[in-house]
Every structure is written in structure tokens, then in C-alpha cells.
Amino acid sequence: MLWIPVTVTAALLQTVRFLLQKRLKDTGLSTGAASYSRFLFAAPFAVIFAWLAWASSGLGWPDTSAMFWVFALGGGVGQILGTLATLALFGERNFAVGMAFTKTETLQVALFSAVVLGEAVSPLALGAILLGVAGILTLSRKPGSASLLSRSAALGIAAGAGFGVSAIGYRGATLALGEGSAFLRAAFTLACVTSFQTIAMGIWLSLRERGAILRVLKAWRVTAVIGLSGMLASLCWFTAFALENATYVRAVGQVEMVFTIAASWIVFRERITPREYLGMVLVLGSILLLVLTLR
């Protein structure tokens, strides 16, 4: 059950990155440029870390099959598309509705996992996952939001699908590397994926926003820390994917929303509403139920 504390650590580190990204508003970076910072500065850290990890292991670099690259690059593309769909939501009037629908990712991961990897979930585990999704929707959707049948909802579902594909891709890639521990396979996969994403997102950003990459580099005091925290979070996610079914990992990872709300209360003194308390209880209850189911 090592994957559980690893997943919780990933969620906690991702919350730290979220808090740091709030500081980027003071740098004048656009949403796209701020998002790119997590790739640009994560890639060098990931490559150096993977090299050190494999060099100290005494093993040679792993052999990479065509299937590894299909999963790794497919996961990388899925994450980029999910990120772009999320960015598109910022320009939508019904933003809250769309963001709520991105949280259907866990259910989409369950579907993709069964179809692509042949890793289905048990009925009891599915019940726990549904409870968690209900909690996430309770936390995400604001009262009085507009109709769920909207462009925002479609973008939210698309974002969830992109992130779902990335989860399956990363698990498939780590499994395709037969040599090395789960941690070593995760480090190598992460280095490959983040390098690809940095190049791909860099091309997209340079075409979309002239001078954006230079502005990201100039804000390195903040963006480098975001990249490092993002890399550490991703390393934990990839390690968890190497250890366990991606559906279960994403289900436990929903604790990130609880961490985010708690951090908003502690750091930014934002009030927690009764609806948010209910959502947190549902999410934590779903994680406890899932863990008991898998024991």
C-alpha cells in the first residue's frame, strides 16, 4: 500500500505549487505563460534527477520499446490538451460549471483503464469513486451556476478526458519499462515526458504569445520554484502510477481539493462554507472507503 502515502504526498506538493502559482499574478505573466513555467523549469530538474537516480542504482539506462513511447508521448499530449482545455475555461462565462466537469477525470480514468490497460475496478471501489466525485462536484460547483449543457461543460469534460488519458499513458509507460524499481521507472518516464512537453508547449506558446517565454525566464525566481515543486509532485504521481491502478491513484489524489481549501483558509484567510465542509467529508469518506475496500 506504499502508493497511498506517495499519492497523498503528490497531492500535497501539487497544492504547494498551486499556492506558488498564485504569486505569478504579481509578475504580469499570462495564464498560458504561467502554465508553461511548470514545464520549462521542471524538465531540467527531471532529467538531472533521473540521471542521478539511475547512475546511483548501478543499472544501465532502460531499453525503451515502441509501446513505451506511445504511452509516454500519448500521456504527454493528453496532459497538454487537458491543460489547454482548462485554460480555455478562463475565458468562459460559466467557468464554475466547466471546472466542476473537469473533476469527472477519475470516472474517465476508470473507463480508459479498463479499455486500454484491462484494469477494471471492483463494484465496491467504483462506489467509493462515485462518492468522491460527488464530493468534488460539491466543492467545485458554485450555487446558482448556469446550465450544465454548455460550452463550459464540454470544455470541462474535454479537460478531464485529457488528464485521464495522461494518467493512463503514464501508467502504461512505467509498466512498459520492465527494468528497475517503480521509483526508477517513474523518474525515467517523467524525464522523457517533461522534455517532450517543454518543447511542444514552447512551440505553441511562441506562436501564440510573442515574447512569453522570455517573460517566463525573467521571472525565474518564482517560476523555477514552481517548476521544482511541480517536478517533485509529478515524480510522486508517476511513482504511484507505477505501483497501482491509475483509477485508484486518481481517486485518492482527490484529497488535493481538501488540501487546497485548507490552504486557502490557513494562508489566505478565506472562509470555508458549509457546502465545502460537506464536500470535504464526502471526499475523505470516499478515500477511506476505497482504502478499506482494497485492503
The 10s digit of each residue's pLDDT in 108-125 is 898 899 999 999 888 888
pLDDT of residue 241: 95
Cα–Cα dist 59/55, whole Å = 7
User: What DSSP character marks residue 150?
Assistant: S
The three-class DSSP label of residue 60 is coil
Mean pLDDT for the chain overall:
85
Is residue 202 in some structural domain?
yes
Is residue 60 in some structural domain?
no
Instruction: Copy the grid coordinates of residue 75.
Output: 500521456
- Radius of gyration over alpha carbons of the chain, in Å? 19
**Cβ neighbours of 14 (radius 10 Å):** 20
pLDDT grade for 93, boundaries at 50, 70 and 90: low
pLDDT at residue 295 is higher than 80: no
Question: DSSP H helical segments within the chain, as ranges?
Answer: 3-22, 31-40, 42-57, 66-89, 95-102, 105-112, 123-140, 151-176, 182-208, 212-218, 220-243, 246-253, 255-268, 274-294
Q: Specify whether the CB–CB gap between 174 and 185 falls below 8 A.
A: yes
260: containing domain: 3-55+65-294
pLDDT of residue 17: 81
Give the distance from CA 208 to its chain's centroid: 24
pLDDT at residue 7 is higher than 70: yes
Is residue 95 in some structural domain?
yes
pLDDT grade for 143, boundaries at 50, 70 and 90: low
pLDDT grade for 90, boundaries at 50, 70 and 90: low
pLDDT at residue 131 is higher than 60: yes
pLDDT of residue 264: 74
pLDDT in tens, 191-249: 999 999 999 999 988 998 888 899 888 888 888 888 899 899 999 999 999 999 998 99
**Phi–psi pair at 173, nearest 5 degrees:** -65, -45
Residue 180 zone, left/alpha/beta (φ > 0; ψ -120 to 50; rest): left
Residues near 13 by beta carbon (within 8 Å), at least 6 away in sequence: 229, 232, 233, 236
pLDDT grade for 150, boundaries at 50, 70 and 90: low
Is residue 223 in some structural domain?
yes
Q: What is the CB-side half-sphere exposure of residue 272 using CA atoms within 13 A?
A: 19
pLDDT in tens, 240-280: 999 999 989 998 888 887 887 787 777 767 777 888 788 88
Q: Specify whether the CB–CB gap between 147 and 17 falls below 8 A.
A: no
Is residue 109 in some structural domain?
yes
Cα–Cα dist 250/133, whole Å = 11
Question: How many domains are there within the chain?
Answer: 1
- Give which of 103, 99, 98, 160 is closest to 135, Cα–Cα: 103
Q: Specify whether the CB–CB gap between 89 and 156 falls below 8 A.
A: yes
